[in-house]
Structure 1
Amino acid sequence: MLKMRHLYLIACLFSSAGWGSATVVDNNLLASDPEGANWAGYGRTFDEQRYSPLDQINADNVKNLSLASYLDLADMHSVTTVPLAVDGIVYFAAGYSVIHAVDGKTGKLLWRYDPELWKTHPDMLRRAWGSRGLAFWKGHIYVGTMDGRLLAVDAGTGELVWSATTTEEGDSRYITGAPRVFNDKVIIGHGGAEYGAVRGYVTAYDAMTGKQAWRFYITPGNPADGFENEAMAMAAKTWTGEWWKFGGGGTVWNAMTYDPEYNRIYLGTGNGAPWNRKIRSPGGGDNLFLCSVLALDADTGEYVWHYQTNPGETWDYNSSMDMVLATMELEGKQRKVLMHAPKNGFFYVLDREDGQLISAEKFAKVTWAEKIDLSTGRPVESPNARYEDGPVLIWPGDTGAHSWHPMAFNPQTGLAYIPAREVFGYYSDEGVDIENWAYEPGFQFANGLSTKVRSEEVPTDLATSALLAWNPVTQQEAWRIPTPGAFGGGIMTSAGNLVMQADPEGKLNAYRADNGELLWSYDLGVGSLSPPITYLVGDTQYVSILAGWAGSVQAFGALTAKEGWVGRQQPRRLMTFALNGKAELPKSQPQQPLSPIVDAGFKIDAQKAARGQAVYAAKNCIICHGVGAVAGGYAPDLRASPIPLSVAGFTAVVREGALLQRGMPSFSELRDDELEAMRHYIRRRAHETAAASVD
């Protein structure tokens, strides 16, 4: 191991990134990094702006940008993640947190570390989301895993340094988000608020040893057990009933931002558990600290301030989207601000010193609230927004006007760039036993709303997307470019007056940052939502992106299946570009229409099919195979799969785990009658699809 470390250091001394020792990634580098040679943090620097000062590639010459290298990742189910680049080496965690180190110039794989989730906790494959990113600190790579581990891996050798279990055995928590690093600490949250009685928290560990430094809970626990701190006692006053039996939620599954000027960590907190407030807090209440921007002291984890975007959350309008830091002139004064565009469709500007709301305006179609009252900071909600008088269609839906895909901010143009979405949601708790509601045993999606919401096929025109340039000072749209499909990829911007974003059609696009003019486009060969990064190797600026169609979009069925990316037929790659690059891609598999299997000899039982639809929804099969059994782009489309035609084959795969190593989890708890019911449901959907295509 020591020999490998020495070889790594020698390689850094003579690397194409330049002479000298390996770059030390610490507070000093992540606070500014004005040279822009590295992309060492999730948002490049602590401010999460996703802005690079590099301008070798710019609006005038980006037309000459072309492929320099690529690396195929044939065994990765999801590559929708944020890479890092340090000393010319690109690091990323694809699939189930499999870490890769790749030469940024040549595309050569240097090492690979696999936490082997399918061996250690195969039941966690039911989550299926994969990893959204990692962190780098003083020669270590940090990543969270679906089974709740936080891992530290040597950046030079790929060897495991330490592992910490951040969750409890058998609970519903899991990790998909990227850790953040600061002050020799690494912090991680978790997801899982839809799958059990989960009480959200974040935990900070010593970055070198993995020893826990502090933990902060987002929602209060059982008052009979006492409260961990004054903040929890304060929060408990905003809850009613026996909320702790439902967990409460508030998971920090994505966004965290460190502020070195105030030595604070800001948390973007999640939705309630369950979503429906009538269940978890029947007497009402704001339910702190759900759906909030929460500021903590970075050294101690003590509460500093909060701003709640959705008091009494009941729609899954979590605030887990990026929180971007900047200093800007407002009303003639320089203000240190935090910008936040969460699911609910409002763009917020907060004062970082005390959390005071400065402004908030709609950046997408919003009908759940009329406005944000600036005197109180609270939304002015629309009638029946809480579906208290029956089912309602409101904008945005639970997928949000902005999801986790990162926005960016360019200090030169003064504009924020958001992968925005127009989408409505259907909210109803008709048929739900509010008073006696409880989580089902096992890993099953449960939000306290009508199950019909998640079991029917969604329309292909449910949502549209756009690249939105937003002026945070005037709170007005500067320009908007419609993008294909329901989702837009994460964004990067640079001093070259560029904004770059990939899209579901498979294009990587470069726009002028000041006016949105399309300057360059490259066919990646597959739809992609990962954000690009840019960095230097020697004197050459490179742009890298992970291209591949997966990363939660597959759950939306027809909404994403319409893009035509089927199963494992299309590539998953790390692709790197430079001015006048010389590499060429092999030809990709073309998009193919679905061919459902119609078995004339299979007699569909309507009652069994209805029961199978309920089992399909309850077991959360939609995560991989899509709403309405319409696969959205990675797992096989069951309507066209021969496996459900065979009782023995279907049982072997679904219950016995015959394809576990390929990522298909086992559902050992399913009975024969439930498996049979699912087969009838799948056959019904195949016949319905075939009949519709004839019509």
Structure 2
Amino acid sequence: MKRMRQAVPLLLACAALGASAVLPRPQAYADVPNDRAAAPVAGAEWPLTGGDTAGTWFSSLADINETNAADLGFAWSYDMGTERGQEATPLVVDGVMYTSGIWGNVYALNAASGELLWQYDPQVDGQWGRNACCDVVNRGVAYRDGVVFVASEDGRLHAIDAKTGQARWIADTIVNHKQPYASTGAVILTKDSVVIGNAGADIGDGDLRGYISAWDIRTGAFKWRFFTVPPAPGQPFEHPELELAAKSWGPNRDGRTQNGGTVWDGLSYDPVTDQIVFGTGNASPYLRSADGVRHDDLFNASIIAVNAQNGRMNWYYQTTPGDEWDYDAVQKFVFANLPVDGQPRRVVMQACKNGFFYTLDLKTGKLLAADPFTYVNWAKGVDLATGRPLVTAQADYAREPKNVYPSWAGGHTWNPMSFSPQTGLVYIPAIDAGNVLLNMKANGGSLTHLEGFFSSDGIFPDDLYDPAALKRVFGPLPAKDALQKERPGVKLVREVLRAWDPVVKKVVWEHVTSQGVRGYDGGVLSTAGNLVFQGRGDGSLWIYNARTGAPIKTIQTGSHIMAAPMTYKVNGVQYVAVQAGYGGSGITFPIPPSSAAYAHRNANRILVFKLGGGAVPAPDKREVPPYLPPPPFKATPALIARGEDKFTENCSRCHVLGSPGVTPDLSRLPPEVHAMFNDIVLKGALAPMGMARFDDVVTKADVEAIHAYLIDQQRQGYRAQQSARKASH
């Protein structure tokens, strides 16, 4: 098959796609009607999700700086009343803080005191929690001319009056509600549109296709839509770019799946070129080859730029052709002016999930640099002439398990990185972890499908990695000692904050932030005070010297921090704020016991700091319910084993057994829940609480097997608990 070009030059793209794709005159910052929409750097206000249109997560404020940051302390907090994942960065405009929480709830607070001004509930049906791959999170709101915009979990856009908290208009962005679409990303605003993508490529059997869509900022009227993968074979192309994409799929597209490519985060808008730059997600399912050849499968795992006025493509670059490793390219982008070959150039930068740091020309999409910012073994590099990665044999896990770096979690994921124009460094919350990838259909285990992974799975070789315990379900896996030989002396799962120089393409300084298990550490803020801020999974907020990386201050909050901080100034006082709460993709894992946040309730809070502040009040102590006596139920070992398989396949994406997690521990159920177990799973008895009905996925026999397995787990936990109590007495 002829290889597809990796970046379509601007003029060639316009010629190929027709006159309607010709760009209008590039917009200058002064042409944009709202000055906040083109703020070059955040100052007293933080008007955009990333602080500015360049998405730098950098502030020009310097009242808090390297000389006095050690005096930073608690100013105020707001308890959001929920206990799920928090991934949004608040905005501050005219002394008011606007932010979003789970489901797309929106909060307006007095930015000086934390007083709640109003709260907006998008009224999402609880069944939508089933469609959320990675918790019911939301990554932020947008603001323009007295209106706050948010995308709720069910894919609706809401335009909310910033003074009253009342909806001005609501638009449904989902093309088919029978498919598992959800929206978790932050909306972006162009000069006249609201734009959003969606999530869901890892849910079900790959039965949805990604897209972004634009809606009139004043009325909510639909304007245009760009699909990221072609329709089923034989169906008409919605726009001409899809004909180009279809040629790259080979026989991989058989019409039974719609192949993913969702745009679940990372939308960016550049008002200078009036174009939207966004990344696309993984293809689904992961292992698709029908002829033994890895095809490119456009536009999955790609960076795309489209004309903001009509949605027509300006250029594209595919980061991971033929993606089989869950290497989404939706990580947030940063626009910057950098010297390239001695000349200043306007570029777009991304620390991609696949482990490479990409620098592309913002106007044309030309690849300028691609260098590993974390340990990578799936490819030995990127050919700058063709743009293609040089894939290694280690990446092929179709026949036997392989420990592939980076893991499905990526070398960097949604957690924002920050670029400081003052230091010239990019601060990346990197994930230095591999995963044992396997083809479940070929590895001899009892499981052949796993919700969220299809017929593949990626298992972290962390401190809890136990091949013997996993063998029945997943088949034989490599011993940890064998995996360690590739990286002697280094923990196989860890997270690292890295200061990366995008010009000389090297790490300037770094700090290991968690080891042994994923800590789900947070995004990054940098400031003109020569400071870098990052929260960690153990509940601490760290402040570093931006140039040297020297730690300046650590504040223990007692709350898990995944989101990126921001800073603002009200009434002459500079504040630093961050949202706290464990969840997101961490919903699949227990809260790390080593974390200081483990001891406390997973309270979703907005935490705000100022110079001269005090200690942060910790949330209430966590209360882990005891194991209750299990109901009398006799089940055969075969039924229990089948229940384990069905639980792992359908339930483990959200529920953790035996340890505190985000969702209920189903091995500690009270008698009344046991009594209604079938009605919960098959009839949606708890749908208003987010537990949707699963009768279209599992049978009554499946549910009885799952229940038998959970009762057996409760029996084991209860016996161990009682034995420990006896021993303590």
Q: Shorter chain as normaliser: what TM range?
A: 0.7 to 0.9
Cα distance, 1:650 vs structure 2: 2.7
Say whether 1:303 aligns with 2:313. Answer: yes
Contact kept, 8 Å, 1:432 with 1:450, in 2: the verdict is no
Cα distance, 1:617 vs structure 2: 3.1
Q: Per the alignment, do residues 389 and 672 of structure 1 end up closer, same or farther by CA in structure 2, a change over 3 Å counting?
A: closer
- The structure 2 residue matched to 1:319, chosen from 313, 318, 329, is 329
Contact kept, 8 Å, 1:348 with 1:361, in 2: the verdict is yes
Say whether 1:273 aligns with 2:284. Answer: yes
In structure 2, the residue matched to 1:409 is 419
Say whether 1:609 aligns with 2:616. Answer: no
In structure 2, the residue matched to 1:9 is none
Equivalences, count: 657
In structure 2, the residue matched to 1:467 is 497
- The structure 1 residue matched to 2:227, chosen from 190, 207, 217, is 217
SS at match of 2:354: coil
Say whether 1:185 aligns with 2:193. Answer: yes
- The structure 2 residue matched to 1:353, chosen from 345, 359, 363, is 363
Give 1:639-654 correspondences, 5 Å limit: 639-642=667-670, 647-654=674-681
Q: Per the alignment, do residues 463 and 680 of structure 1 end up closer, same or farther by CA in structure 2, a change over 3 Å counting?
A: farther
Contact kept, 8 Å, 1:415 with 1:472, in 2: the verdict is yes
Say whether 1:525 aligns with 2:531. Answer: no
* Structure 2: runs of 5 or more not aligned: 1-31, 467-490, 725-729
Say whether 1:245 aligns with 2:253. Answer: no
Deviations 1:315-351 (A, max 9, x none): 1101010111100123321111111111111111111
SS at match of 2:272: coil
Say whether 1:509 aligns with 2:538. Answer: no
- Partners in 1 of 2:50 and 2:458 — Cα distance? 38
Q: Say which is worse superposed, 132-141 or 249-258, in terms of deviation.
A: 132-141
SS at match of 1:96: helix
Give 1:112-151 correspondences, 5 Å limit: 112-118=119-125, 124=131, 128-151=135-158
Say whether 1:54 aligns with 2:70. Answer: no
Contact kept, 8 Å, 1:598 with 1:690, in 2: the verdict is yes
Say whether 1:681 aligns with 2:709. Answer: yes
- Partners in 1 of 2:254 and 2:552 — Cα distance? 53
Cα distance, 1:68 vs structure 2: 1.2
Contact kept, 8 Å, 1:384 with 1:390, in 2: the verdict is no
Deviations 1:103-151 (A, max 9, x none): 1111111100101213685765786332121211221111112222111
In structure 2, the residue matched to 1:577 is 609
- The structure 2 residue matched to 1:99, chosen from 103, 106, 125, is 106
Say whether 1:391 aligns with 2:401. Answer: yes
Contact kept, 8 Å, 2:134 with 2:587, in 1: the verdict is no
Say whether 1:172 aligns with 2:180. Answer: yes
SS at match of 2:653: helix
Q: Per the alignment, do residues 449 and 521 of structure 1 end up closer, same or farther by CA in structure 2, a change over 3 Å counting?
A: same
Give the AA of the match of 1:273.
S
- The structure 1 residue matched to 2:652, chosen from 594, 603, 622, is 622
Q: Say which is worse superposed, 168-177 or 313-322, in terms of deviation.
A: 168-177
In structure 1, the residue matched to 2:15 is none
- Partners in 1 of 2:574 and 2:597 — Cα distance? 31
- Partners in 1 of 2:403 and 2:250 — Cα distance? 27
Cα distance, 1:564 vs structure 2: 7.0
- Partners in 1 of 2:580 and 2:294 — Cα distance? 44
* Structure 1: runs of 5 or more not aligned: 1-24
Cα distance, 1:84 vs structure 2: 1.3
Contact kept, 8 Å, 1:277 with 1:313, in 2: the verdict is no
Tell me the TM-score normalized by structure 1.
0.87
Q: Per the alignment, do residues 601 and 229 of structure 1 end up closer, same or farther by CA in structure 2, a change over 3 Å counting?
A: closer
- Partners in 2 of 1:220 and 1:612 — Cα distance? 38
Say whether 1:156 aligns with 2:188. Answer: no
Contact kept, 8 Å, 2:141 with 2:187, in 1: the verdict is yes
Contact kept, 8 Å, 2:600 with 2:619, in 1: the verdict is no
- Partners in 2 of 1:567 and 1:217 — Cα distance? 45
In structure 1, the residue matched to 2:663 is 635
SS at match of 2:541: strand
Say whether 1:79 aligns with 2:86. Answer: yes
SS at match of 2:316: strand
Give the AA of the match of 2:535.
A
Say whether 1:261 aligns with 2:272. Answer: yes
Cα distance, 1:608 vs structure 2: 1.7
- Partners in 2 of 1:450 and 1:692 — Cα distance? 34
- Partners in 1 of 2:42 and 2:673 — Cα distance? 60
Q: Please, what is the CA RMSD of the aligned residues?
A: 3.1
- Partners in 2 of 1:601 and 1:404 — Cα distance? 45
- The structure 2 residue matched to 1:108, chosen from 115, 139, 158, is 115
Give the AA of the match of 1:398.
W
Tell me the TM-score normalized by structure 2.
0.84
Q: Say which is worse superposed, 682-691 or 471-480, in terms of deviation.
A: 682-691
Give 1:519-558 correspondences, 5 Å limit: 519-557=552-590
Contact kept, 8 Å, 1:53 with 1:494, in 2: the verdict is yes
Q: Per the alignment, do residues 35 and 115 of structure 1 end up closer, same or farther by CA in structure 2, a change over 3 Å counting?
A: closer
Cα distance, 1:684 vs structure 2: 4.0
- Partners in 2 of 1:458 and 1:687 — Cα distance? 22
In structure 2, the residue matched to 1:588 is 619
- Partners in 2 of 1:371 and 1:349 — Cα distance? 14
